[in-house]
Amino acid sequence: MNSETLEASLRQVVGGSNVIAGPQDGPALVVRPGTTEAVAECLKLFHEHQAPVVTLGGLTGLVHGTHTPSHYFGISTERLNKIESFDPSTRLLVVGAGTKLEAVHDFAAEHELRYGVDLGARGSCTIGGNIATNAGGNSVIRFGMTRSNVVGLEVVLSDGSILTDLRGLPKNNAGYDLKQMFIGSEGTLGVVTKALLKLGPRPAGTASVLLALNHLNSALTVMEALERGCGHSLLALEIMWNRYFEKVSTALSEETPPLPSGHPVYLLAQVEGMDSGEQAVDSLVGALEGIDDIIDSALATTPVQESRLWSIRDGSDVIERAHKHVLSFDVSMRPHNYAAYIADVEARLKARISDAVAYYFGHLADGNIHFMIGHDGSSSDATRIIEECVYDALAYYEPSSISAEHGIGREKAAHLWRSRSTVEIAAMNRIRVALDPAGILNPHISYEPRIF
Amino acid sequence: MNSETLEASLRQVVGGSNVIAGPQDGPALVVRPGTTEAVAECLKLFHEHQAPVVTLGGLTGLVHGTHTPSHYFGISTERLNKIESFDPSTRLLVVGAGTKLEAVHDFAAEHELRYGVDLGARGSCTIGGNIATNAGGNSVIRFGMTRSNVVGLEVVLSDGSILTDLRGLPKNNAGYDLKQMFIGSEGTLGVVTKALLKLGPRPAGTASVLLALNHLNSALTVMEALERGCGHSLLALEIMWNRYFEKVSTALSEETPPLPSGHPVYLLAQVEGMDSGEQAVDSLVGALEGIDDIIDSALATTPVQESRLWSIRDGSDVIERAHKHVLSFDVSMRPHNYAAYIADVEARLKARISDAVAYYFGHLADGNIHFMIGHDGSSSDATRIIEECVYDALAYYEPSSISAEHGIGREKAAHLWRSRSTVEIAAMNRIRVALDPAGILNPHISYEPRIF
């Protein structure tokens, strides 16, 4: 590869000011194409020079999926950030891949509509990144993951050819549904440049409730009652174990937290009212009536009250700052297994890393729990040992996944065999080679079979 | 290829009585493996001998997807027809690919549950075939297509390796979601042997209404009212133009049809009541109140009454018998374009095939209309000309699909370019070669780029 020729050609395609120096510990060069055609020209060049390239979106991923060594190139979707078109009759919205999730929410709100995917990083993460990781978030219980909200894609393949399906037909069985392959592929099969998103009606109001409970079983009882009583109006059902709740709720503000800490488990539920805000409150209160397991509760019926409760759930950066090192995990399994699994992880951690503190929270209804495990680095090899504690225990609670919604990235590649068979991993790699024969797209994300 | 060696080996794998002579105009030999492992052994043999093989399910497809020349082999899923397991807590059901759709409905009903995919061929079609074609049907508006109802798959790849994901995790972003690729791939990427299906709660009752209308615009008005007024309780919304309604309703029984024919458009809507049958009736009647466009209506509040209305919608075999030759079409587009498109097709047909009679009906809310075009064969080359009339007109009503739910099969392969770009078709073929490098799986289904 002649890197000078490549660099000069890239400058010619995107303009000199859009070939910039990469961040420290990142790629030496980042290109910022402003159109799909420019992305295609860049990829043709990378392909020709067999130059490895990583697609960079909002950089909010949690598995080092956009890790880029200095001999790789970065291709940023920053300038592909336009709202391209909107059809009010079908509620289908075409946006550039670099559009921030929050900008989509704002656009939807201006049209009195709503987009189904929401998550804490909404102000930084991009739609392209959401698609690359099949992002989940708080409302999966209601709207599904990103896959369920994306109706079409435009993707540039590794050889620079542009694959477009922005037709937005509810039914189209004319050959394979190719977009399904790109959603969740973490930039290994192509560079997403545009997406066709489905917006939906906006509720008149929402209400949230924070509940204190004595046991995971009570949380499962409450979940059943909410799913039965609220049906499709249940927007979110989040769980926080006490160690997380206590740490975040007391750190967040000077005010007394909405509920005292110290109870084993906390649930945060949100419900919508399509016709009125009162409908949301009635539905929530009605569904919870007569459940003895609730020790304490705080109801939020205004946006300000709701945002106070949600700031606890969304406040995980408090944990990030509380320890010298923090590892994040994102596992899924059947919810009734969680109590046993967490006890198992706690015992393993205690035996092997004396200073490890684990905080548990997540999306109960999806069987998806996040762990943040902080430690001060006094044990050497702590990362490997903590990963072993979390993942080795997981094997006893099948079916389970080491990555419910974060993806594999560079961080979890060596653990993929824990959730996927050799045949599955081989099939992934065969499809990958088919679409990127030169192996230039995000090659640091390797789908590795088990290495014994 | 030594076909005698292959045949002897197949007999050894599945037993002599399960290697049978194929039907007339079909493959010389059909194998009927009884287990996934036997399917895998058979595919290893086919792979080794580079013998082309077509997966045979219920043979109810409408695009000659299971067309099998005599030098091909057939592999039947007939004996893979067991209900393998059911978990009431998750409502996840594992069934063999050869299980009839109706058997799944019966199983669900016994457990007071319901499976979302339903279609007229339910008594003959198999779950494996539904998956291979991503079958739609009457309740797509409520439950989505087969893709939305299948949570996991077991598939034997062309080299005999068994790819299994029957984990049934609501969230699993550990690598690509491979099942998405097999759903709708018409047997070209692997042989589906088992499926994990999601069952859901069963309503207490349903109600249906047949409406006579003066114009497609009125149907769109009614659709909007039903979608707004009934929300998730709207199970189906079918449209029949008069020529179809008249032909079928008068042929079906000695009784007077539920509504007189002669009105331009008929709608058939079905609504569910989760708590009671009255709820369904109230919801339906309430949503339609005050709509002036309805000329005539017949309400069905009992299963017997409902089945009488539905027998008209499901009675398309009346058309099959009414003409010497009948061609079926399955297109989708934005519903507001249908009136203009149908007028266009009618004009083209009239000018080119004097004896052609077209019957129009379908799933209005999905933008999916079926045509059946009968003729007596007096024009030579009628098939090609009729296809041109239907498809050439379609190009003016973008976005559109030549196959909303039937698939491509052998019949539509040469027309695929009308709904997919050269880049899309190339990507399909690359994935296909990756998973079936020897090209032995359903090779008669060819994804063809445009041939000028």
Q: Can the peptide bond before residue A399 be classed as cis, meaning omega within 30 degrees of 0?
A: yes
Please calculate the CA angle A383-A388-A394 and round it to the nearest 5 degrees.
135
Kindly state the tokens that stand for B250: 């008068």
Q: Do B408 and A175 touch (CB under 8 A)?
A: yes
Q: Give the end-to-end CA distance of chain A in Å, rounded to a whole number.
A: 35
Candidates 3.90.25.10, 3.30.465.10, 3.50.50.60, 2.20.28.90; CATH matching A83-201: 3.30.465.10
What tens digit of pLDDT does each residue of A68-85 get? 888 899 999 999 999 999
What tens digit of pLDDT does each residue of B190-220 get? 999 999 999 999 999 999 999 999 999 999 9
Each domain of chain A, given as residue ranges in start order, spans 3-76, 83-201, 205-313, 317-406
Residue A391: HSE in the Cβ half-sphere, 13 Å Cα cutoff:
19
What tens digit of pLDDT does each residue of A395-424 get? 999 999 999 999 999 989 999 999 999 999
CATH class label, B87-201 = alpha beta
Averaged pLDDT for residues A232-248 = 97
What tens digit of pLDDT does each residue of A306-359 get? 999 999 999 999 999 999 999 999 999 999 999 999 999 999 999 999 999 999
Q: Do A421 and B163 touch (CB under 8 A)?
A: yes
Domains A3-76 and A317-406 agree in fold:
no
**Percentage with pLDDT > 70 across chain B:** 99
Q: How many CB pairs under 8 A join A and B?
A: 203
Domain A317-406 has CATH 2.60.120.10: no
Averaged pLDDT for residues A247-259 = 91
3-state secondary structure A137-185: CCCHHHHCCHHHHEEEEEEECCCCCEEEECCCCCCCCCCCCCHHHHCCC
* A contacts of B184 (beta carbons < 8 Å): 173, 176-177
| Surface of B (295-354) touching A: CB under 8 A | 332-334, 336
Q: Can the peptide bond before residue B33 be classed as cis, meaning omega within 30 degrees of 0?
A: no
* A contacts of B414 (beta carbons < 8 Å): none
* A contacts of B421 (beta carbons < 8 Å): 163-164
Please calculate the CA angle A192-A369-A348 and round it to the nearest 5 degrees.
125
Candidates 3.30.365.10, 3.90.1310.10, 3.30.43.10, 1.10.3720.10; CATH matching A3-76: 3.30.43.10
* A contacts of B133 (beta carbons < 8 Å): 173
- With a cut of 60, say whether residue B1 has pLDDT above it: no
User: Is A181 in the B-facing interface, judged by CB distances under 8 Å?
Assistant: yes
What tens digit of pLDDT does each residue of B272-315 get? 999 999 999 999 999 999 999 999 999 999 999 999 999 999 99
Q: How far apart are CA B352 and CA B386, in angstroms?
A: 8
Which of the 8 DSSP states describes residue B416? G
Q: How far apart are CA A309 and CA A305, in angstroms?
A: 7
Q: What pLDDT score does B105 carry? A: 98
Asked if residues B302 and B220 have their Cβ atoms less than 8 Å apart, the reply is no
| Surface of B (386-425) touching A: CB under 8 A | 398-408, 412, 416, 419-421, 423-425
Sequence letter at residue B445: I
User: Is residue B452 very low, low, confident or very high in pLDDT (cuts 50, 70, 90)?
Assistant: low
Averaged pLDDT for residues A127-137 = 96
- With a cut of 70, say whether residue B135 has pLDDT above it: yes
Nearest to A447 by CA among A423, A101, A26, A435: A423
Q: Please, what is the average pLDDT of chain A?
A: 95
Residue among A90, A400, A435 whose CB faces B430 most closely: A435
**ipTM of the complex, rounded to two decimals:** 0.95
**Percentage with pLDDT > 70 across chain A:** 99
What tens digit of pLDDT does each residue of B35-52 get? 999 999 999 999 999 999
Q: Do A175 and B424 touch (CB under 8 A)?
A: yes
Q: Which residue of B has its CA nearest to A408?
A: B174
Q: How far apart are CA A308 and CA A313, in angstroms?
A: 10
Phi and psi of B214, rounded to 5°?
-90, -15
Task: Using DSSP, state whether B81 is helix, strand or coil.
Answer: coil
User: Is B85 in the A-facing interface, judged by CB distances under 8 Å?
Assistant: no
What tens digit of pLDDT does each residue of B114-131 get? 999 999 899 999 999 999
CA distances for A425 relative to A140, A419, A431, B170, angstroms? 26, 10, 10, 20
Averaged pLDDT for residues B325-340 = 95
Residue among A162, A180, A426 whose CB faces B181 most closely: A180
* B contacts of A177 (beta carbons < 8 Å): 134, 147, 180, 183-184
* B contacts of A364 (beta carbons < 8 Å): none
Kindly state the tokens that stand for B304: 């017997």
What tens digit of pLDDT does each residue of B141-183 get? 999 999 999 999 999 999 999 999 999 999 999 999 999 999 9
Give how far B197 is from chain A: nearest CA, Å.
16
Sign, CA dihedral B6-B12-B16-B22, equals: negative
Strand partners, B370: B330, B361
Please calculate the CA angle B34-A417-B182 and round it to the nearest 5 degrees.
45
Residue among A162, A405, A427 whose CB faces B171 most closely: A405
Q: Do A424 and B165 touch (CB under 8 A)?
A: yes
* A contacts of B140 (beta carbons < 8 Å): 170-171
Give how far A367 is from chain B: nearest CA, Å.
7
- Residue A321 neighbours by CB under 8 Å, 6+ apart: none
Averaged pLDDT for residues A14-31 = 92
Number of other CB atoms surrounding residue A336 within 10 Å:
13
| Surface of B (105-164) touching A: CB under 8 A | 133-134, 136, 140, 145, 147, 157, 161-164
- With a cut of 60, say whether residue B107 has pLDDT above it: yes
User: Is residue A292 very low, low, confident or very high in pLDDT (cuts 50, 70, 90)?
Assistant: very high
* A contacts of B147 (beta carbons < 8 Å): 177
Averaged pLDDT for residues B263-280 = 96
- Residue B235 neighbours by CB under 8 Å, 6+ apart: B138, B139, B141, B142, B206, B270, B271, B272
Greatest CA separation found in chain B?
Answer: 73
User: Is A173 in the B-facing interface, judged by CB distances under 8 Å?
Assistant: yes
Sign, CA dihedral B63-B68-B72-B74, equals: positive
Would strands A73-76 and A53-56 be described as parallel, antiparallel, or unpaired?
Answer: parallel
CATH topology of domain A205-313: Alpha-Beta Plaits (3.30.70)
Residue A309: HSE in the Cβ half-sphere, 13 Å Cα cutoff:
27
Q: What pLDDT score does A452 carry? A: 63
DSSP secondary structure letters along B41-73: HHHHHHHHTT--EEEESS---SS-TT---TTSE
Residue from B163, B171, B193 whose CB has the most chain A CBs within 10 Å, to mutate? B171
Residue among B164, B180, B406 whose CB faces A177 most closely: B180
- Residue B140 neighbours by CB under 8 Å, 6+ apart: A170, A171, B363, B365, B366, B368, B405
What tens digit of pLDDT does each residue of A355-395 get? 999 999 999 999 999 999 999 998 889 999 999 999 999 99
Q: Do A332 and B163 touch (CB under 8 A)?
A: no
CA distances for B251 relative to B91, B315, B377, angstroms? 41, 9, 23
**b/e code A367-385 from CB counts within 10 Å (16+ = b):** bbbbbbbbbeeeeeebbeb
Give how far B435 is from chain A: nearest CA, Å.
7
User: Is residue B254 very low, low, confident or very high in pLDDT (cuts 50, 70, 90)?
Assistant: confident
Asked if residues A181 and B180 have their Cβ atoms less than 8 Å apart, the reply is yes
Candidates 3.30.70.2740, 3.30.390.10, 1.20.120.80, 3.30.420.40; CATH matching B321-412: 3.30.70.2740
Q: How far apart are CA A49 and CA B423, in angstroms?
A: 22
Q: How far apart are CA B159 and CA B7, in angstroms?
A: 18
Averaged pLDDT for residues B355-368 = 95
Would strands B191-201 and B265-273 be described as parallel, antiparallel, or unpaired?
Answer: unpaired
What tens digit of pLDDT does each residue of A147-182 get? 999 999 999 999 999 999 999 999 999 999 999 999
Q: Which residue of A has its CA nearest to B131?
A: A173
Q: Do B157 and A421 touch (CB under 8 A)?
A: no
